[in-house]
Chains A and B, each alone.
Chain A
């Protein structure tokens, strides 16, 4: 079986609330998947079912070839959304405790802790109490705890929440390193640009149901809205010649220029040279839809 995670028609309800409905999901080994959707969409519930912290009411589930994550927990790294840390423990003993729980050989624990801490610039933090660290630093420690056993599957639930931009970039680099090492990565976020920047494939859910499951590049291609962003060289230039091009359906003024909407069937690459001839441009670019726009479009539909 090539899928690291496989869900078939999984359902989960809490009382009268349907948290997840008929969810199918297949994450191939070695993939970097984004699991996106607004707050309350069912992402965390799905992840908890994958982690065998919650159990589905119906449907099939397989994780790293096992029917339950309980049988493969030492091969899974998990950074939950509601992540915490033993505040009174020192960083070294906390990571040692987590490494032992994850089955890291005793002889390798110290080395991995040192390496992990050095990687995130916290080489001197081993003796510090966790409560002495900032939230961002604690999050780095939690991430080290999640990957200290070099998992085959890494599940990150809202890993960037609460992080400053510098820490976000650092964490993103570490996620990519884990992916390059060969780990399958599934991370959830409600901040869609994060998924856009990091993932090669996204699964989008809304109200517990999957609404999209596609490669990012394919999504952007499929949902191309036929808009060309055009900023003239002279900010005061007359833009009416653009409307005279037959393929142009509409020209909408923006702060710095305009957005040119093409007619259905028009080819942007063939229109762009003619736009440049009509009005000298400072910038001319095909507008790519964001995942957020795609999501809004899908939900609205």
Chain B
């Protein structure tokens, strides 16, 4: 064991002392931080301005004034402002508190800046619609972005039914422009309808609106405002943490093995220790590297929860199971990646053999939503017993709103342990043969044959 730990120590220090590792470790939180700062700005509505001409054919002539008003820049800005406030109101309390009041005001002000420059082109009531459609396709500035034909019964119901409008648009129109046009038309038509019926629109809207109730999450220790969406975010957050941990160590296992092989240092090492000691040392060393990455990310996540006073929302036992499932996943995927590293001559050759492993490793990202939404479906349950995907699947189920029964958790752990044993057995066979082989790398079928023959 002394030699195993010597190799493990060298692997660990050689990996964590490189600039690439330190940068790689910090790049993910940095990316998330930058994304949190930059994405809202990139997606900010102020960056999009609806510009162009909208032709209106309104045979009944009703609601004409309402339409003009609803398309005015001021009304478009007011609607955006209302939307921004609504989004703020739905934001978790802790996040809202973290944003200063004046900043929140800025956000809504920013959202309403330069909202739209829509020009209404009113067409005769008896306009030929087919001819008007050709107008849409005419080039020029400002662009022709929509032809709206208001139904006769849009304002006054016929046979008890209200109509609406038909919209004709060019192929290049942006969905956001269409939304802007729809909201303006909806406002105009509802205004006209309520006025015609002698109803006060504001009162009517107030009557039909029921504010969402204040939700409080009750735990054994305390009560706090419910954070909507957290239950959906928790599975994907745990899955991502495990993925990053496995990838950090697994990737290092692959690259360090390929490097040792291409540097021809393998045989020097094999003069001092057995292939199994080398394999075990490498896996243990890179496990330490993975645990550093996982520890850092989990620590940052917990720190974020503490700062938003949401720590109590995560069951500590889930963190324990995160570590357990991580160990099982790392040993399985790490063994497979190590095998690939042992049989190729350089990283380029590794890509082909890594493809199936990466597909397996990223598979949970494709299925996390159905698994977390229906954690006890037949599909989710079956996935929990198919290693190595089972490690991710069971963790997603455990962090969902309806965790699986305990017997399934223990049974899944048992299956995972068998999966680890199989992966280590495969790796030990392939590693021993592949280490000293150079030249054309073997394909998957050859690897399986080696494992059976060795």
Contact = CB atoms under 8 A, between A and B. Distances in A.
A84 B265 CA distance: 4
Classify the interface of chain B: helix, strand, loop or mixed.
helix
B220 to A, nearest CB: 52
A59 to B, nearest CB: 19
Given A53-B436, A83-B264, A101-B6, A88 B14 contact: yes
Nearest to B435: A53
Tier of interface size on chain A: 20 to 34
Contacts of A84: 260, 263-268
Contacts of B28: none
Contact of B270 (A53, A98, A142): A53
Interface string B268-293: 11111110000000000000000000
Nearest to A53: B270
A101 B273 contact: yes
A73 B271 contact: yes
A85 B6 contact: no
Contact of B267 (A76, A82, A88): A82
A87 B18 CA distance: 13
Contact of A101 (B3, B266, B267, B436): B3
Contact of B271 (A54, A78, A88): A78
B10 interface: yes
B16 to A, nearest CB: 13
A100 B6 contact: yes
Interface residues of B, number: 20
Contacts of B18: 88
B436 A48 contact: yes
A76 B3 CA distance: 16
Interface string B408-452: 000000000000000000000000000010000000000000000
Contacts of A73: 271-273
A54 B271 CA distance: 11
Contact of A142 (B7, B268, B273): B268
A86 B14 contact: yes
Interface in A74-116: 74, 76-78, 80, 82-89, 97-98, 100-102
Nearest to A88: B14
A83 B267 contact: yes
A51 interface: yes
Given A48-B436, A53-B436, A100-B6, A82 B272 contact: no
Contacts of B265: 83-86
Interface in A48-75: 48, 51-54, 70, 73-74
B346 to A, nearest CB: 14
A145 interface: yes
A144 B228 CA distance: 65
Given A73-B272, A80-B268, A101-B269, 20 more contacts: A53-B267, A53-B436, A74-B272, A76-B271, A77-B271, A78-B267, A78-B268, A82-B264, A84-B263, A84-B267, A85-B265, A85-B268, A86-B260, A88-B14, A88-B18, A89-B14, A98-B268, A101-B6, A102-B272, A145-B268
Interface of A: 48, 51-54, 70, 73-74, 76-78, 80, 82-89, 97-98, 100-102, 142, 145-146
22 contacts: A48-B436, A53-B270, A53-B271, A54-B436, A76-B271, A78-B271, A80-B264, A80-B268, A80-B271, A82-B267, A83-B264, A83-B268, A84-B260, A84-B263, A84-B265, A86-B260, A88-B18, A89-B14, A98-B272, A101-B6, A101-B7, A146-B271
Interface of B: 3, 6-7, 10, 14, 18, 260, 263-274, 436
